[in-house]
Structure 1
Amino acid sequence: MKLTQEQIKAYDEEGYIVLPSLFSQQEARLMKSRLPALYQMSRDEVIKEKSGVVRTVFAAHTFDEVFARVASHPRLIEPARQLLNSEVYMHQFKINAKAAFNGDVWQWHQDFGTWHQDDGMPEARAMNIAIFLDDVNEFNGPLMFIPRSHKEGRLDASHDLTTTSYPLWTLDNAKVAELVEQGGIVAPKGVAGTVLIFQSTLVHASSPNLSPWDRNTLYVTTNSVENAIRKFQRPDYIAHRDFTPIHTLDDTCLDEFHQAVA
């Protein structure tokens, strides 16, 4: 799959693009069907909120066959190669489970800030690809972006160790207000199977989910093989140390799994 020149321009100028229904409803249901078993696992990769519900599952592609296929899916990896202009490896793979009524806040931050500070990633040559596993609306804690904020480069941030159960390098309110004054806030929404691709320096956040609807999102974070991390202070399941270029599977790889188990 190749992005159009218009999509590449939007990614460069706005910092993100939305690809509605890139995955079918059947493919999204297959991915979501794996979540209950993952959320019940007792392993280090499963991070809980302070309330006890699951916040994030890291590296599910290493212990679940469906997510192993997603991690090598051409609809995700080919655009990453195109935008980063190189072969890519998997820096991080995670599922954020913003549970109905209990999903906690993700503070304003840039992902590259954490990857640079904690993982020693040299340059902002990594990117996020998010797949909606549920319908995302204005009520269930959608991602909020500040358009064009990626053009500011890496911003000063503080290490927030207390707000949530997961430590994050976050921006102060004054800087966020300044950026919003310039670029506003958008919150892309869509049906399950929709994909967001966004720059690693794009400032983003999400509010708590007080609605009765879950908002599960899968994140595939690819990094240029020319930009491998230099620090190994975080666990391998959070910041991967295998810099092998991703080999893509066939576009029908999820359908093939569905047929095999049907």
Structure 2
Amino acid sequence: MSTQQFDTRIDRYPTRLEQRSEPIPRQEPTVWGAASNGPLDDSELETHSTNGYLVRPETVGGDWLSVLRDELSCLDADADPSDPRIIREPGGTIRSVFEPHRFSEVIGEVITLDTVLPVARQLLGSDVYIHQARVNMMPGFTGTGFYWHSDFETWHAEDGMPAMRAVSCSIALTENFPYNGSLMVMPGSHRTFYPCIGATPQNNHASSLIKQEIGVPDQATLTEAAARYGIDQVTGPAGTALWFDSNVMHGSGSNITPFPRSNIFLVFNSVDNQLVAPYRAQAPRPSYLATRNSELNSFPTLAT
């Protein structure tokens, strides 16, 4: 288990620059724990370390899936149009619901499943808390995609996340086909940080949650990255979890098929990677996008 520490006052990953800058090699581990620290074996840890992502089938079973789908229907029906945590597509359909564990006790229980929380602790080598949680809905015909990006770029620039010691868990509630907007990943890209061009506008999150334009690499950078790393498309049945590193380059296309795609998206951050002042924004984003009080989204401390 790594004990590497960094000075949070130093910006080791400058981004949102005036002009294009050279890529920056990753400066911290991808996997912080060992096989003895959780359910993942050496092979799975090596896969995550090498590719920046890991697929785990049957993370939630069929009994959970039916209940969770019902919860999504309730969230949709009960959504308050004035609630900023409800993000809608330009046509009015719900795109994302942030802090779903505040709306739903069932979704809150999913976070603590033996197939979820111990994996996060093992990958990050520490106790963890929920940095961000949301439900993504991509209905048939109308669901729009997410452009290529590294989550860490935004979390670092706008939230003040110092180091790449966070991991995301996307749990599919519907089957991911190659043709209904399933996630694409550049395997190995997590080892390189790609600085982006353009200053952060005030309240950038108000528009970026619908269409992200700041904090995304330019086409030349993406072309170089795709040539270097290639692109994997993650498919699989409902209940499958995709674990991916905070800095891996990923995105998804729009869903023009009749088959909806929805998922629970959980971001775990290490308690040793607490947020500081944003590195490239005037003010932090709202707490429903980036928890600044980790105790509100924490879990019982690991036994020593």
> Which residue of 56, 62, 69 corresponds with 1:25?
62
SS at match of 2:269: strand
For 1:95 and 1:166, locate their aligned partners in 2 and report how far apart those are by CA, in whole Å.
17
- Tell me the CA shift for residue 11 of structure 1: 0.5
Q: Which has the larger radius of gyration?
A: 2
> Which residue of 155, 161, 169 corresponds with 1:121?
161
| TM-score, L = length of structure 2 | 0.77
Percent identity, aligned pairs only, is 32
- Does the aligned pair in 2 maintain the 1:50–1:164 contact within 8 Å? no
Structure number with the higher helix fraction is 1
Q: Is 1:101 aligned to 2:141, yes or no?
A: yes
> Which residue of 109, 114, 137 corresponds with 1:69?
109
Residue identity opposite 1:247 in structure 2: P
- Tell me the CA shift for residue 88 of structure 1: 0.4
SS at match of 1:171: coil
Q: Is 1:197 aligned to 2:243, yes or no?
A: yes
- Tell me the CA shift for residue 242 of structure 1: 2.8
* Number of the residue aligned with 2:47: 10
* Number of the residue aligned with 1:133: 173
- Does the aligned pair in 1 maintain the 2:59–2:116 contact within 8 Å? no
For 1:132 and 1:79, locate their aligned partners in 2 and report how far apart those are by CA, in whole Å.
17
**Structure 1 residues 193 and 87, CA gap change in structure 2 (3 angstroms):** same
* Number of the residue aligned with 1:179: 225
SS at match of 2:262: strand
In the TM superposition, what are the counterparts of 1:203-242 in structure 2 within 5 Å?
203-231=249-277, 233-242=284-293
For 2:241 and 2:117, locate their aligned partners in 1 and report how far apart those are by CA, in whole Å.
13
For 2:130 and 2:149, locate their aligned partners in 1 and report how far apart those are by CA, in whole Å.
21
* Number of the residue aligned with 1:254: none
* Number of the residue aligned with 2:30: none
Spell out, residue by residue over 1:80-130, the C-alpha distance to the aligned partner (whole angstroms, 9 max, x if none): 111111110110001111111111120100000010011000001011001
**Structure 1 residues 3 and 212, CA gap change in structure 2 (3 angstroms):** same
Spell out, residue by residue over 1:178-222, the C-alpha distance to the aligned partner (whole angstroms, 9 max, x if none): 111111111111110000000110000000000101100111100
Residue identity opposite 1:70 in structure 2: V
Give 5+ residue unaligned stretches, structure 2.
1-37, 278-282
- Does the aligned pair in 1 maintain the 2:146–2:211 contact within 8 Å? no
* Count of aligned pairs: 248
Residue identity opposite 2:96 in structure 1: T
